[in-house]
Structure 1
Amino acid sequence: MPWLELEGAVNARDVGGLPTVDGAAIAERILLRADNLQGLTPADIKLLVDDIGLSTVVDLRSTHEVVSEGPGPLRAVEAVRHVHHSVLPEAGEATDVTADMLFARRQEALARYPEDPMCALYLGYLEDRPDSVVGALRSISEAEGAALVHCAAGKDRTGVVVALSLTVAGVHRDAVVADYAATGHRISAILTRLRASPTYAEDLARRPDDEEHRPREATMAAFLAQVDQRYGGVLEYLSAHGFGPAEADTLRARLLG
């Protein structure tokens, strides 16, 4: 797993190298994923912008999170384009680490998939914010250099958008699932960072057990299976929301380099 060892983020990595079903692989330095970027140092920015060629940041946090956290260090870099695509309903003070607010409509959410609350949440992204899901993939496709997708933990919202992107590119499903679950290797460090932020500390205090936050392969496997069952697959879901075959081909070509 090509982790990016940053001083100010702990769940950053390049998905380059993941294998596709037709024997190709995702190109390196094209699609990056990460947790909160608020703590990036000058050395981190040099690595991302000068060495890797970062051109686009796809921010999946809610408007509340963006306002509460304030501008991060990368905002000062004119060469980097920032796009905001919240996959949560824009109401209240939702974040992706809360216990109660994540499932403010808990019964409705669980009705989507009672066997796994996190899978139910992920399906909610598709149902509640197809505009942002499509917008995020479109922003990755349009990036002139590397695109970096992030939220707060780099786990749930980022995990879904990256999984959809990799699926469009034809990555083996097992590899998509494994990439999602890899965040579990750094879950304690991720949560330590978030607990130091007033934006997330109170929410995480309600769920103090780190293991409760650890991503499970079964969750992503179930989510992708449900997308197949409910929508006919990722490509069909995206096409129904305006991201048709031509754009899917462009994204695929972009990710394969």
Structure 2
Amino acid sequence: MHHETCVLMFSGNEIAEKIDPSTADKFGDWTKIKPHGESSSSSDNNTPQDLNEYRMVVFGLPSSGVSSTANTIVGEKLFQEGVTFDGTTKKCQMESRTRFNYVLKVVDTPGFVFDKKMRTAEELFPGLKKSIMLFPPGPHIVLVVLPLDRTNEDLHDMIHCLKCFENLSRHVVVILTKIDKIEKDRAGWKQEIFESENLSELLEFCGKRVVFFDNTSNSEQQVKELLDVVIKVVERNMSECFNTDYFSKKTNKKLELVLQDHEKNRKSVYERIQNFVNWK
């Protein structure tokens, strides 16, 4: 599968790009930014019917700031935020707002929980399936939210399962949050992210389409930068949506293999621990 041109976008005016010259013509230049209009309100002369609509589902691990990110995108506190042991969001919620002369429809979803008892895509990803029902024919974009301080086995399990959806990766944009917690020089850590082994699988999966968010900030620039990437992806996909066809028997068969491998690996780790304990 071919991946999109590599680009990192930061909240603020700084944009860092990492483009392979041999693929630039093939994939286009993700750093060519389209001009945005001023932020629009419900009193604008343009009605939502006159504007381009972008449908996005926000997804991630529990307590990863998915709801906070959804609020940042719509520009209002419409989704319940908070940090709890099992995540705050319990069901899908869809909100629609007009911003920057675009109609933005956003679905907030419960966090991904890897459960070996679940055997189908519908069971493992009920939020993604529900989002299709909330704004048919489905989302243009799947936004995967990940805090910069959370790269662990849960992330790898989630990516392994998402990869079972054929062609889903071309709808994915990653939002890395909690950049306000980073004390390093920005020019240094942006390169570390490209080189990080913990993030390599995620970056490959999303074609290195990554936007950085500070959900404690009211800056509109980071949302404009996200929309620049979203527009490029939607145009490249010719407005094709993530729809119910993705929840196929082929997807379920791939998921079953992932679950089997996970169970084998878990048993292998347990056996190594037991052997060590017995040796002691």
TM-score by length of 1: 0.30
- The structure that is helix-richer by fraction is 1
- The structure that is strand-richer by fraction is 2
